[in-house]
Amino acid sequence: MEILTITGILGLVLLVLLAGGLWIGVTLAAAGYVAIAVFSPAPAGSLMATTLWDNSWNWALTALPLFVWMGEILVRSRLSEDMFSGLAPWLDRLPGRLLHVNIVGCGVMAAVAGSSAVTCATVGRMSLPELQRRGYSEDMAIGTLAGSGTLGLLIPPSIMMIVYGISAQQSISRLFIAGIIPGLLIMGLFMGYVMIWSAFNRKYVPPADDALPLLEKLRRSRRLIPIIILIAAVIGSIYGGYATPTEAATLGVFGALGLAWITGALSWRSFVDSLMAAMRTSCMITAIILGAAFLSVGMAFLGIPLKLAAWVAELGLSPMLLLLLLTLIYIVLGCFLEGASMIVLTTSVALPMVVSAGFDPIWFGIYLIIVVEMAQLTPPVGFNLFVLHGMSGRDMWTVTKASAPFFGLLVLGVVLLTLMPGLATFLPTLMLSR
């Protein structure tokens, strides 16, 4: 009971500091300092300096700014304009027609940006006005964007996978490969739902455009195809064992710069803007990782992770009930925290529990990222809801209601992943056996 009291005090410290507007990384480090200085005899200042230094030069961190920079370069190379014109001819004949552009477009953008909000905003900037102009259901256009935008966290190269890999000390290459099938599964669930919805709501789905010959489809996709090839090359180099994530990210940056130069989108201004945006994002995530690392050290000194794991074990929860409990906790946390904070704040506590329950840490990483995806659709801090609220001009309730079916589909994705863990572990195991 004592450990629960200490945990509650640290949680209160976090809540008060976050509510006061303090940066998340600083808040996590401050909570770690309180844990050590107040509840243990260890020198908090020396431990903080050592921990921050040791974690700041983690080699795995080098992939983070490079992948972020690759995405920033491609986002500035007219990708949103090319997305709709390049995908529409290929998807116009499916039930639901151009609503699938949101889903597939977000899937492509997810592999570029690695961020949910950026994915949602980039695709929505072009597709939302176009779908409204053509007479598609506004609720479904908003919902598909909100739901599919979450793919930015799951489809590799994902920034959240790098964050989890560093926090849990797991292979980032294996996490990237593990996310491929679940990412395609979530896309398939979204597209299947749109097809079923369109069968019962034909009046909200305009007729298809005239069929285009193959050469014309390829011509309209000419700017999109090189980007898809670049993404496939980056992921393929990791899967094939030819490059580490950092090396693949470096190739991706050079490839993105080359594509931007060829298309005429590369200027000194866009180069500097992309570099500064990548630096801001990377510094923010790194600060969260470092703060969480020190908090983890503080909790480890007090034995909180092991004692909480033992306490949960005493409850006699089955593995499925444990997952259900964790899912509910993460959904509640998602109402107040963004994805990176959720991952680094809870991994040190949750991972020992799930490993002792027999779950694979790579599988748990994919499960955790899908649950974090769900948090992108939960008010009041659902980032995708805020993005679409600003882009569509609709009130938050309308955007939340439109996104609700896709929240349910993400829950279904978690259930399928739990029932069939091989969805996440098959490809990494295959890669390891080669």
- Rounded to two decimals, the pTM is 0.82
CA 269 vs. chain centroid, Å, equals: 28
Q: What is the pLDDT of residue 99?
A: 87
State pLDDT tens for residues 154-170: 888 788 888 898 888 88
Quick one: which of 341, 223, 363 has its CA closest to 290? 341
SS3 content of the chain, % helix, strand, coil (to 5): 80, 0, 20
For residue 60, the 8-state DSSP code is: G
Q: Domain of 361? A: 2-433
Q: What is the pLDDT of residue 1?
A: 44
For residue 206, the 8-state DSSP code is: P
Cα–Cα separations (whole angstroms), residue 189 to 120, 207, 254? 18, 23, 34
Indicate the number of domains in the chain.
1
State pLDDT tens for residues 58-76: 676 788 788 888 878 877 7
State pLDDT tens for residues 281-300: 788 778 877 887 788 778 77
State pLDDT tens for residues 357-412: 888 999 999 999 998 888 778 776 666 777 777 777 788 788 888 889 999 999 99
